[in-house]
Amino acid sequence: MKKRYFGLPLPYYLAIFSFSLVLILFGSFFDYKLSKALVDQKDAIGLFIETMGQVFGFATIPFGAVLVFKSMNKKEGIGFKILGWALFLIALIMSVYNLGDAMCIKEGSGYYGYRFTPVVAYLISVLLNAVLFVTAFLVLKNEYSKEMFFLGLIFLLGELLQWLIVKLFKHIGCRPRYRFLLSEEGISNHVVFRSWWEFQPFKYSGDNYYSWPSGHSASIAQVLMFPAIIPFLKYPFKNEKVTFYSLAIALALLVPYFRIRVGAHYLSDVGFGLLFGSLIDFALLALFSLNPKKKEEKEEKNKAKNANIFSKKEGRKQA
């Protein structure tokens, strides 16, 4: 097994997986008690993160799009340039839609952060995405690199896959959010606490029943890949690795905590979110790190080595 995947060390991801599993295990026993002790539905930071926290996770989309675009734009051949433009435009639409949709007022969403009318939500999304895309264009190199293209593709695929998988599991689990249990509607409908494994597939719809797994946590797991862009920065700076890793880990801790704080998720919900998001990313990083050519070269070297050893043994026998 390789020690690094696009510059990200294997122990880094093993630590993320282990941490996620600890959260799931601990939450499986103490979800309700922990939420009861921590929840404050009016926590200002928690409400802000509920609305805007997705910005951090979705930031991988603009950066992924620009990595792909800049790499393909420098590749010879019109087909590569068309591919770069196509992926860039798809990512742009995907990013604006996802962030805008996350901020829209919706029926059945209950008490949810600071939400806006569709016009305002998508206007904010366009402005935020403009900042992210411009920033990515300014800080990333403009050159062809297979690794640069693959990393951008991983950013885009990782965000898309985690979004699809989390959406599916939310519908399978239909777990009521803690704050919904406390609401008048929850009490009048006799909604009770359920552990994460007590699935009621497709029985309910609406945000109040989408507690498990945490979409914010799965999305923020994408940020843990950000240190991989360090080799493609135009302007390297001192202690860049410490800065990137520290920011990524801090966000991966703070966002899940505040999702619990406002009663949107339980501990096991955020643990599963981090686990799903990071597992998808690691699988993509490992997949795109495979190099069949190197494998073939290694096999050829081993054959040559074995042949050399065999010829030496034959020479000794003849002697």
**pLDDT tens digits, residue range 26-81?**
999 999 999 999 999 989 999 888 888 878 888 899 999 999 999 998 887 888 88
pTM: predicted TM-score of the whole model, two decimal places: 0.86
As a whole number, the mean pLDDT across the chain is 87
Q: How confident is the model at residue 214 (pLDDT cuts 50, 70, 90)?
A: very high
> CA 186 to CA 192: how far, in whole Å?
8
Please name the amino acid found at residue 104.
C
Residues 6 or more apart in contact with residue 36 via CB below 8 angstroms: none
Task: Provide the pLDDT for residue 215.
Answer: 92
Q: Tell me what pLDDT residue 314 has.
A: 55
pLDDT of residue 120 exceeding 60: yes
What is the Cα–Cα distance from 48 to 46, expressed in whole angstroms?
5
Count CB neighbours of 45 within 10 A: 13
Mean pLDDT for 166-185 is 94
299 alpha-carbon distance from chain centroid: 35
Lowest mean pLDDT among 146-150, 229-233, 303-307: 303-307
Average pLDDT on 72-97 reads 88
Nearest CA-CA partner of 248 in 57, 26, 109, 72: 57
Q: Let me know: does 114 contact 47? Beta carbons within 8 Å.
A: yes
64 close to 137: Cβ distance less than 8 angstroms: no
Contact 98, 128 (CB under 8 A): no
Is 50 exceeded by the pLDDT of residue 19? yes
How many residues are listed for the chain in this entry? 319
193's CB contacts (< 8 A; 6+ apart) are 31, 32, 176, 178, 181
175: helix, coil or strand? coil
Q: What is the pLDDT of residue 135?
A: 94
Q: Which two tokens stand for residue 169?
A: 């599991």
| Neighbouring residues of 169: CB distance < 8 A, sequence distance ≥ 6 | 212, 213, 272, 276
Residue 265: its pLDDT value, please?
Answer: 96
Structure confidence at residue 171 (pLDDT): 96
Phi and psi at 90, nearest 5°, equal: -60, -45
In this predicted structure, the answer to whether residue 110 has a pLDDT above a threshold of 60 is no
The pLDDT, as a whole number, for residue 38 is: 95
Q: Which residue stretches of the chain are H helix? A: 10-38, 44-52, 54-58, 60-73, 78-103, 118-139, 146-173, 178-182, 184-188, 215-220, 240-261, 267-289, 292-318
Residue identified by tokens 């340039």 is 81
pLDDT of residue 296: 47
